Amino acid sequence: MKRLVLVRREQPLRGGQPLSFLIGLVVALLAGILLLVASGHNPIEIYERLFNSSVGSSNAWAKTLNRAVPLGLAGLAVAVAGSMGLWNIGAEGQILAGAMMAAWIAQIGEGWASPLLIPLMLIASILGGALLASGPGIARAQIGVNEIITTLMLNEVALRLLQWLIHGPWKDPESRGFPLAPLLADEARLPKLFGRAHWGVIIAFLVIAFFGFIVSRTAWGYELKVAGSSGATARYAGISLNKKIITVMVLSGGIAGLAGGIELSGTSDRIVEGVSGGYGFAGIIVAALALMRPSGVAAVALIFGAVQVGGLSIQTLGVSSSVSTILQALILFGAIGAGVFNRYSLKSVKREKKGGST
């Protein structure tokens, strides 16, 4: 009897991860056709609406870019931590923490001019996310507590804190009993680029480009990779693992917090429970598809943003909202599968017999 096994290739196939992602996207769209036909819909009509609503016009591009901003920053937050072999699963809570800090500055700075208020809000959002991530970083560095558990648990802490604020101290007296914070002042809103697209798009692009450069082109980024691949090698090279862990987790949390600040001042009109929009968890997918490389996060986030925006629009044609989520999952599995075969090939080998011979 024979069996199939994965054998590592001597050299990865040409094209690498971009080709794998493209293959995954094609596989997802083909599988989506079967899904749409099985549910009684016309795939051509659905895909045409999905395309037009996400990238078919300047207004569609504005929506996609706005959606890609928190996805890209959340993915970058996960990827920066992943560059050192750490898993930040708390980007969702860090986005909430960043939004809360930005909303607090907006309240105490009511009446301030936009050139002063908005930068302070974004700086505060970075500090909020960094603060929430600092605890797991210190715990991992000092006593070896798994950062996956601590960052994940803090998501719930951040959510409960926000719920308390909008039900209590921050509740709008004119909300007629609904748990709503007051509307943001016009001075607290990011200016527009075109249509609904705001300046957060430029900010996010610059942040992603900056971290892509320092992780891949600087000694600091090289030290991250060394520390993540081998602790013994890092110590031999004089790299302080504890310092690097804390620094990376704080940076990762700060980036996610910035996503919350931009989402609040750029897209939302007030802080609500859903301000994080699930972007923190989607950022894990974005980072995984980018192979934890900040340089690939922007492209993946843009495609995911288009899929999410298009997924909302096709609901007007009677398509279930779950179709968009399924398409994202198919893209993930397709890209991961293609990525595996980029580095491995399937070989047929004989099964070993009980006596040890083949």
Distance from C-alpha of 327 to C-alpha of 139, rounded to nearest angstrom: 37
Comparing C-alpha atoms, which of 190, 200, 191, 181 is closest to residue 107?
181
Q: φ, ψ for residue 30 (rounded to 5)?
A: -65, -45
What number of residues does the chain have? 358
In a domain, 83, yes or no: yes
In a domain, 106, yes or no: yes
In a domain, 16, yes or no: no
pLDDT band at residue 353 under the 50/70/90 scheme: low
Provide the CATH number for the domain around residue 288: 1.10.3470
In a domain, 147, yes or no: yes
In a domain, 309, yes or no: yes
Domains contained in the chain, number: 1
Distance from C-alpha of 80 to C-alpha of 162, rounded to nearest angstrom: 26
In a domain, 268, yes or no: yes
The domain of 281 spans: 40-319
Q: What is the pLDDT of residues 17-41, one digit of tens each?
A: 677 777 777 887 888 888 888 888 8
In a domain, 337, yes or no: no
Contact 276, 155 (CB under 8 A): no
First to last CA, the chain: 9
Residue 256 half-sphere exposure, CB side, CA atoms within 13 Å? 42
Bigger pLDDT: 158 vs 291: 158
Q: What is the pLDDT of residues 288-303, one digit of tens each?
A: 888 788 878 998 899 8
Give the Cα-Cα-Cα angle 338, 11, 337 (nearest 5 degrees).
10
- List the single range of 8-17, 125-134, 318-327 with lowest mean pLDDT: 8-17
